[in-house]
């Protein structure tokens, strides 16, 4: 998925001093650095490419003017991004896949539209901030191509079963009974010791910028390698059990809201932003009911009707067959609203089955339980969960594929 930026906000947050620092990379005293920064399977990455990507990353961070050391560290992270993109485009070339200029322009237009600008205006704003729009366009080209390749190779193979969805629903229900944290993440992918050391240095600079006021959401959109980058790193409300051991311990030990990290895990470096914390929620059970009532209190008629009903779908037709029967649909009801007696009756009945007969005014009635969900107001839909699980699976496959490609590639740093 192409990472999104809110261009106008991003550019407005860029101090003049930071623009100057980004442009410093092309000052005369740096001309000695012109040439090739790295070679990836015989494909060169120039120092000019690296400088442009570093400018884009610095622009994304905003904050105060970075030090020369921070600029160098971000430059190292920019190089690693470009190496990944060369490998991704190389993989796409195996399938003769090309991303049309119209697709990239369309993505730029989508970004600009979020900030009330046109694609051309966005490019002019980037140029004014010392960033060549080509760097952003090339990053998007690689991301679109990689997403398309991974979806084409593996998307149709991923099968999410009903049992997986049900297990995930149970996990969500369980999480509502635990302490939860609202967390956002920035993940710097670093699969080997050398790149991990560079990512660790870069993360320290990123944290300094974040603590000086840089927008975490924008930084995640442009820098993070996690799937959550598209939503500004937002992981939503999570529990300690949802996290890697290292991240879980850091969140648990945090004094309160704020930036946590850098946190080294097996394949990279994390920076977390803990926004808030909430204690276990009181779960609410929601139900759909159909009440069937015999208005004259004739229990034999009600019993006969119940014998003719095998599911909720039968209640209406059976009710219409007798003049002294009435039915009423009660949808999305909080069981607490039924009172103690009604709640106990409903919770004792299985889904699809009636409650025991009870007095209702001058007549008798039962309630058929057609749906029951615990914590329903906080649960995502099954379709949303299925889509989320598929995206997670595809993301893990993509990460593993890229890691294998880096291991097998010939990468020469100059």
Spatial distance between the Cα atoms of 224 and 230, rounded to a whole number of angstroms: 9
For position 179, what pLDDT does the model report? 82
**235 assigned to some structural domain:** yes
**381 assigned to some structural domain:** no
Q: Do 55 and 199 have their domain in common?
A: yes
Spatial distance between the Cα atoms of 402 and 98, rounded to a whole number of angstroms: 19
For position 272, what pLDDT does the model report? 93
**49 assigned to some structural domain:** yes
262: helix, coil or strand? strand
Q: Do 257 and 311 have their domain in common?
A: no
Q: Do 272 and 337 have their domain in common?
A: no
For position 378, what pLDDT does the model report? 58
For position 363, what pLDDT does the model report? 83
The stretch 276-302 carries a mean pLDDT of 84
Q: Do 31 and 124 have their domain in common?
A: yes
Spatial distance between the Cα atoms of 20 and 207, rounded to a whole number of angstroms: 21
Q: Do 189 and 171 have their domain in common?
A: yes
For position 339, what pLDDT does the model report? 84
Q: Do 112 and 56 have their domain in common?
A: yes
* Tokens 């037709």, residue located: 317
Residue 308 has pLDDT above 50, yes or no: yes
Q: Do 174 and 301 have their domain in common?
A: no
For position 17, what pLDDT does the model report? 40
Q: Do 201 and 322 have their domain in common?
A: no
CA nearest neighbour of 84 among 41, 28, 118: 41
In this predicted model, what pLDDT tens digit does every residue of 153-193 receive, in sequence order? 888 888 889 888 888 888 777 777 778 888 999 998 887 78
CA nearest neighbour of 158 among 330, 372, 393: 393
**156 assigned to some structural domain:** yes
Q: Write out the residue range of the structural domain in which residue 349 sits.
A: 285-374
Spatial distance between the Cα atoms of 282 and 387, rounded to a whole number of angstroms: 27
Q: Are 54 and 74 in contact (CB under 8 A)?
A: yes
**328 assigned to some structural domain:** yes
Q: Do 361 and 391 have their domain in common?
A: no
Residue 122 has pLDDT above 80, yes or no: no
Q: Do 317 and 295 have their domain in common?
A: yes
**334 assigned to some structural domain:** yes
Q: Do 93 and 200 have their domain in common?
A: yes
- 173 burial type by CB count under 10 A (0-12 exposed, 13-18 middle, 19+ buried): middle
SS3 content of the chain, % helix, strand, coil (to 5): 55, 20, 25
Number of domains in the chain: 2
**13 assigned to some structural domain:** yes
The stretch 126-144 carries a mean pLDDT of 85
Residue 41 has pLDDT above 90, yes or no: yes
Residue 22 has pLDDT above 70, yes or no: no
**408 assigned to some structural domain:** yes
Structure pTM? 0.59
* pLDDT averaged over every residue in the chain: 80
pLDDT band at 25 (very low <50, low <70, confident <90, very high): very low
Q: Do 310 and 366 have their domain in common?
A: yes
CATH code assigned at 305 = 3.10.50.40
């Amino acid at each position: 998925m192409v990472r999104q930026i809110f261009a106008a906000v991003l550019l407005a947050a860029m101090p003049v001093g930071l623009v100057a620092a980004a442009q410093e990379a092309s000052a005369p005293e740096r001309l000695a650095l012109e040439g090739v920064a790295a070679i990836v399977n015989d494909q060169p990455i120039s120092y000019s490419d690296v400088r442009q990507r570093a400018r884009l990353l610095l622009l994304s961070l905003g904050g105060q003017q970075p030090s020369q050391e921070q600029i160098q560290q971000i430059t190292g992270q920019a190089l690693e991004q470009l190496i990944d993109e060369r490998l991704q485009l190389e993989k796409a070339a195996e399938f003769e896949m090309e991303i049309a200029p119209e697709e990239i322009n369309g993505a730029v237009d989508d970004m600009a539209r979020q900030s009330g600008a046109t694609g051309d205006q966005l490019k002019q704003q980037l140029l004014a901030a010392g960033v060549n729009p080509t760097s952003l366009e090339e990053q998007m080209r690689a991301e679109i191509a990689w997403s398309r390749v991974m979806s084409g190779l593996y998307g149709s193979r991923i099968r999410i079963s009903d049992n997986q969805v049900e297990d995930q629903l149970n996990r969500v229900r369980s999480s509502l009974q635990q302490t939860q944290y609202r967390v956002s993440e920035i993940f710097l992918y670093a699969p080997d010791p050398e790149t991990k050391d560079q990512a660790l240095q870069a993360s320290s600079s990123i944290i300094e910028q974040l603590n000086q006021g840089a927008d975490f959401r924008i930084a995640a959109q442009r820098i993070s390698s996690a799937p959550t980058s598209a939503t500004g790193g937002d992981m939503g409300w999570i529990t300690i059990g949802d996290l890697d051991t290292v991240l879980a311990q850091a969140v648990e030990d945090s004094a309160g809201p704020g930036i946590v990290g850098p946190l080294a895990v097996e394949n990279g470096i994390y920076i977390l932003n803990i926004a808030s914390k909430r204690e276990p929620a009181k779960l609410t059970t929601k139900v759909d009911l159909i009440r069937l009532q015999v208005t004259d209190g004739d229990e034999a008629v009600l019993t006969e009707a119940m014998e003719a009903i095998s599911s909720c779908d039968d209640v209406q037709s059976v009710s219409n067959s007798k003049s002294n029967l009435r039915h009423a649909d009660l949808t999305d009801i909080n069981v607490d609203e039924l009172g103690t007696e009604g709640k106990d009756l409903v919770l004792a009945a299985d889904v699809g089955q009636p409650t025991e007969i009870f007095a209702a005014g001058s007549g008798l009635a039962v309630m058929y339980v057609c749906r029951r969900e615990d914590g329903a107001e906080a649960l995502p839909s099954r379709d949303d969960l299925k889509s989320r699980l598929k995206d997670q699976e595809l993301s893990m496959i993509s990460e593993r594929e890229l890691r294998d490609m880096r291991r097998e590639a010939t990468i020469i740093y100059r």
